[in-house]
């Protein structure tokens, strides 16, 4: 889709495109309401600013739609399709990596009471494991901030990928 096509969508159509990117409806509403955008850079700036306003309850809500890292997202929803595509680059063919991610996920969930979230796109399985081990040492406040940043990165990457580059 081009930016011009996005600008021309009805509010309902634009919200339908934005909602699967992150399950925080206030973010989608803010981005939708700021249209029309003169450039992709302006659209990304608005999306980033809207993401900076996320509250802890927004992040908790969004995490509910994310599968554990290393696990295949189930279902046919747009969110599941996006997640499967992002995690496809991990190349988890070695059982050792799969086992380490499962153990790390369980340790993380026991410590923080939520799924471990990281932008998987562009990262190797080893990088993700290293980040998981490092983040297990975070305080709850540090981890909330890091989780929010990862969620922003995922959302903005998904938003940018909505647009064709001419």
* Closest by CA position to 23, among listed 75, 80, 87: 80
Contact 111, 134 (CB under 8 A): no
121 within some domain: yes
25: domain CATH number is 1.10.3330.10
10 within some domain: yes
Question: Looking at per-residue confidence, does 13 or 123 come out higher?
Answer: 13
Q: How far apart are CA 120 and CA 70, in angstroms?
A: 9
Q: Which residue is it, tokens 């153990």?
A: 103
Domain count, the chain: 1
Cα–Cα separations (whole angstroms), residue 59 to 26, 62, 109:
12, 5, 15
Contact 86, 75 (CB under 8 A): no
Q: How far apart are CA 164 and CA 166, in angstroms?
A: 6
Identify the pLDDT of residue 87.
53
Tens of pLDDT, residues 73-109: 555 656 656 655 555 555 555 777 778 888 999 999 9
Domain range for 15 is 3-161
Largest CA distance in the chain: 49
166 within some domain: no
129 within some domain: yes
Residues 6+ apart with CB under 8 A from 46: 30, 31, 34, 37
Q: How far apart are CA 36 and CA 9, in angstroms?
A: 10
Question: Looking at per-residue confidence, does 92 or 30 come out higher?
Answer: 30
Tens of pLDDT, residues 47-77: 999 999 999 999 999 998 887 776 655 556 5
Contact 13, 7 (CB under 8 A): no
pTM: predicted TM-score of the whole model, two decimal places: 0.84
* Closest by CA position to 161, among listed 75, 73, 82: 82
21 within some domain: yes
7 within some domain: yes
């Amino acid at each position: 889709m081009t930016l011009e096509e996005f600008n021309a969508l009805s509010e309902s159509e634009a919200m339908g495109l934005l909602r699967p990117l992150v399950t925080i409806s206030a973010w989608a509403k803010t981005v939708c309401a700021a249209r029309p955008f003169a450039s992709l850079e302006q659209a990304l700036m608005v999306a980033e600013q809207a993401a900076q306003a996320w509250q802890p309850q927004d992040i908790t809500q969004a995490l509910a739609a994310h599968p554990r890292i290393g696990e295949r997202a189930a279902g046919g929803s747009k969110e599941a399709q996006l997640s499967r595509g992002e995690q496809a680059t991990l190349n988890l063919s070695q059982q050792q990596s799969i086992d380490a991610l499962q153990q790390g996920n369980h340790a993380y969930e026991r410590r923080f009471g939520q799924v471990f979230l990281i932008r998987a796109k562009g990262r190797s399985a080893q990088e993700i494991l290293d980040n998981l081990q490092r983040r297990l040492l975070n305080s709850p406040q540090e981890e909330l901030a890091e989780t929010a940043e990862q969620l922003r990165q995922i959302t903005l990457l998904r938003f940018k990928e909505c647009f064709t580059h001419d």
